[in-house]
């Protein structure tokens, strides 16, 4: 394998990894605060892509406007799901809320099949993203650069919100100890709602870019990225935002390089993430950047 080819694969990996990172952050933020694997997060990605699809195809809106609307709508859907399916169970055993999350995910997938139809649809991709840049022998599709750039900008914004705003401070307080946060006068419901909204908005951006990268749309596209990004969040250390980014990049780059170096194993591409998950959970259950939490009796 030549160096150029390696570089080519690496760039593809970074582009996929940044998508994973973007989606993984939604998982990690929600888990950090309410200790819930939001199974529906993957299906949120699918909804966002369909919103853009219908915005452009059905309502003939300009592309950027439907993307913007899709992000807002998806954030609202995320908040709605929290209100309807998770909030009533906040004091219930963790398993109940997990089952509810599974139910919501299952619902969104099948709702998608009923409403959007089971047939794959072509996702509209504007010309801007399709151009190719050549650097010596390495050719990069514009999208391959735009995705990481957008991801990095969004992540910097997110880190700023979490570290430097009052809401961010409240979010951090909630993730440390939700009951104490309540006693300190933090409106916990509002913070949780905000977290779901923010996570879903990031997932929406991820979903739209996913649609641009793999322009075939069907109601079940969210499942695999959803599972993989959860794994990315766990690999990095769940509840830890830089960890989610790191995990996303590890998974994305690893997956692409696996297929590139061992083409015979390309059929096992989707299993790769799960094997990484098992290894991480066995040897470092708290993830790469996670802190160890002792279990209290």
Partner 1 sequence: MMGLKSINRIFLSIAAIAVVFAFLIWAQGNLDAYKVRILNLCAINIILTLSLNLTNGFTGLFSLGTAGFMAVGAYVSALLTMSPEVKAMNFFMVPINPALAHLNAPFIVALILAGLISALVGFLIGAPVLKLKGDYLAIATLGFGEIISVIFTNTQTITNGALGLKGIPQYTNLYWSWGTAIVVILGLITLLNSSYGRAFKAIREDEIAAQAMGVNLFYHKVLSFSLSAFIAGIGGALLANLISTIDPTMFRFFLTYQILLMVVLGGMGSITGSCISAFIMTVIMELLRVVESPMNLGFINIPGIPGMRMVVFAVILIVVVLFMRQGIMGEKEITWDMLLRKGAGRHESSGS
Q: What residues make contact with partner 1 under the rule CB under 8 A?
A: 36-37, 85, 88-89, 92, 94-96, 98-100, 102-104, 106-107, 109-111, 113-114, 118, 227, 230-231, 234, 267-268, 270-271, 273-275, 277-278, 281-282, 285, 295, 297
Please tell me the distance from the alpha carbon of residue 250 to that of residue 239, in angstroms, as a whole number: 17
Both ends of the chain: CA-CA distance in Å? 54
- Closest CB to partner 1 among 160 and 268? 268
Residues 228 and 235: their CA atoms lie apart, in Å, by 10
Tell me whether residue 1 or residue 114 sits nearer to partner 1 (CB atom): 114
- Please identify, using beta-carbon distances, which residue of 127 and 296 lies nearer to partner 1: 296
Among residues 55 and 112, whose Cβ is nearest to partner 1? 112
Nearer to partner 1, 9 or 228 (CB): 228
For residue 156, the minimal CB distance to partner 1 (Å) is 29
| Cβ at position 251, least distance to partner 1 in Å | 13
Closest distance to partner 1 from the beta carbon of 188 (Å): 20
Least distance in Å: CB of 274 to partner 1?
4
Nearer Cβ to partner 1 (136/267): 267
**Smallest distance, Å, CB 61 to partner 1?**
28
Count of all residues that appear for the chain in the document: 297
Strand partners, 224: none
SS3 177: coil
DSSP of 125-151: --GGGT-EEEETTEEEEHHHHHHHHHH
Q: Which residues pair with 138 in a beta bridge?
A: 135
Q: Dihedral angle at the C-alpha atoms of 253, 256, 260, 261, nearest 10 degrees?
A: 50
- For residue 97, the minimal CB distance to partner 1 (Å) is 8
> From the centroid of its chain, how far is CA 205?
9
Distance of alpha carbon 112 from alpha carbon 276, whole angstroms:
30
């Amino acid at each position: 394998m030549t160096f150029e080819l390696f570089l080519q694969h690496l760039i593809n990996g970074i582009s996929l990894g940044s998508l994973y990172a973007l989606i993984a952050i939604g998982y990690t933020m929600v888990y950090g605060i309410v200790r819930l694997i939001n199974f529906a997060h993957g299906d949120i990605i699918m909804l966002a892509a369909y919103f853009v699809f219908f915005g452009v195809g059905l309502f003939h809106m300009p592309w950027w406007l439907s993307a913007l609307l899709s992000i807002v709508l998806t954030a609202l859907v995320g908040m709605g799901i929290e209100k309807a399916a998770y909030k009533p169970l906040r004091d219930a055993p963790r398993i109940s809320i997990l089952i509810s999350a599974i139910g919501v995910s299952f619902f969104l997938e099948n709702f998608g099949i009923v409403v959007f139809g089971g047939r794959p649809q072509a996702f509209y991709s504007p010309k801007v993203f399709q151009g190719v840049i050549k650097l010596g022998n390495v050719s990069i599709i514009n999208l391959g650069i735009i995705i990481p750039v957008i991801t990095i900008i969004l992540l910097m914004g997110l880190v700023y919100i979490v570290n430097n705003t009052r809401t961010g401070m409240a979010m951090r307080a909630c993730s440390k100890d939700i009951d104490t946060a309540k006693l300190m006068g933090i409106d916990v419901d509002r913070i949780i709602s905000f977290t779901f909204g923010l996570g879903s908005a990031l997932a929406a951006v991820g979903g739209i870019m996913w649609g641009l990268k793999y322009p075939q749309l069907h109601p079940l596209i969210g499942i695999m990225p959803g599972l993989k990004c959860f794994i990315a969040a766990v690999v990095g250390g769940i509840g830890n935002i830089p960890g989610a980014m790191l995990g996303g990049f590890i998974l994305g780059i690893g997956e692409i390089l696996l297929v590139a170096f061992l083409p015979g194993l390309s059929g096992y591409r989707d299993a790769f993430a799960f094997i990484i998950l098992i290894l991480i959970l066995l040897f470092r259950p708290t993830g790469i950047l996670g802190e160890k939490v002792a279990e209290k009796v």
